[in-house]
């Protein structure tokens, strides 16, 4: 720093015989300028620069915080949708199995009914709970339509297979 400049200025003020304070200068229309007090002007500029830097840093901090919050919200929504899809995928096959197996053929949902006669014919029926076909002795009259001559006919009509050959009603 150049102290001679500051001291010269003070001496000039003393030489003129003026010892005015700020209020006096304002009344007379003589506002201080950077020429009157260069050190104060530099301090003001430094303070202003520091203030601007602090405002910029604070603004960046707020901006980064908002971005982080938005990312967290998006990630949370993504996890929620993913969990919802997993639940739908887990629950859907059971619902689909019930809906599809009952919509294949109306005979598949009938319970086993052997009939009143005693002819003892071996037939096949569809067991809805086991999703499989089983043998039973048919009496020859009465009963219901949940009866098939062969196991293959029963399986093709009623059994829902997710790994094997799909019944004709499921083929795409």
Condensed to tens digits (0 to 9), the pLDDT of residues 114-168 reads: 666 767 788 888 888 888 888 887 777 777 777 888 888 888 888 876 554 444 5
Q: Write out pLDDT tens, residues 35-73.
A: 666 667 788 889 999 999 999 999 999 999 999 999 999
Q: Please report where in the chains the tokens 């910029």 appear, as a residue.
A: 56
Domain ranges of the chain: 32-104, 105-158
Measured torsion, CA atoms of residues 38, 42, 45, 48, in degrees rounded to the nearest 10: -120
What is the per-residue pLDDT for 57?
Answer: 97
Residue 34's pLDDT band (cuts 50, 70, 90): low
Confidence label for 5 from pLDDT (cuts 50, 70 and 90) = very low
What is the spatial distance between Cα 169 and Cα 105, in angstroms, rounded to a whole number?
A: 9
**What architecture is the 105-158 domain classified under in CATH?**
Irregular (4.10)
Query: Which stretches of the chain are DSSP H helices?
Result: 3-16, 22-27, 38-104, 151-158
- CA atoms of 93 and 82, how far apart (whole Å): 17
Which of residues 75 and 111 earns the better pLDDT score? 75
Q: What is the pLDDT of residue 119?
A: 72
Residue 15, pLDDT score: 45
CA distance 123 to 137: 6
Lowest-pLDDT range of 6-15, 71-80, 85-94, 106-115: 6-15
- The string of pLDDT tens digits covering residues 89-107 is 887 655 555 545 445 677 7
How much is the CA Rg of the chain, to the nearest whole Å? Answer: 47
Of 101, 106, 94, 172, nearest to 132 by C-alpha is 101
């Amino acid at each position: 720093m150049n102290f001679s400049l500051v001291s010269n200025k003070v001496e000039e003020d003393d030489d003129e015989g003026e010892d005015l304070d700020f209020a006096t200068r304002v009344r007379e229309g003589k506002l201080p300028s950077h020429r009157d007090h260069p050190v104060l002007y530099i301090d003001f500029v430094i303070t202003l620069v520091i203030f601007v830097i602090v405002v910029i840093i604070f603004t960046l901090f707020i901006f980064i915080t908002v971005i982080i919050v938005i990312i967290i919200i998006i990630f949370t929504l993504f996890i929620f949708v993913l969990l919802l899809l997993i639940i739908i995928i887990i629950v859907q096959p059971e619902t689909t199995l019930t809906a599809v197996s009952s919509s294949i053929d109306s005979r598949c949902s009938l319970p086993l009914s052997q009939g009143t006669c005693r002819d003892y014919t071996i037939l096949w029926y569809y067991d809805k709970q086991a999703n499989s076909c089983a043998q039973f002795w048919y009496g020859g009259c009465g009963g219901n339509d949940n009866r098939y001559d062969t196991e293959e006919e029963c399986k093709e009509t009623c059994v829902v297979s997710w790994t094997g050959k799909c019944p004709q009603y499921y083929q795409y």
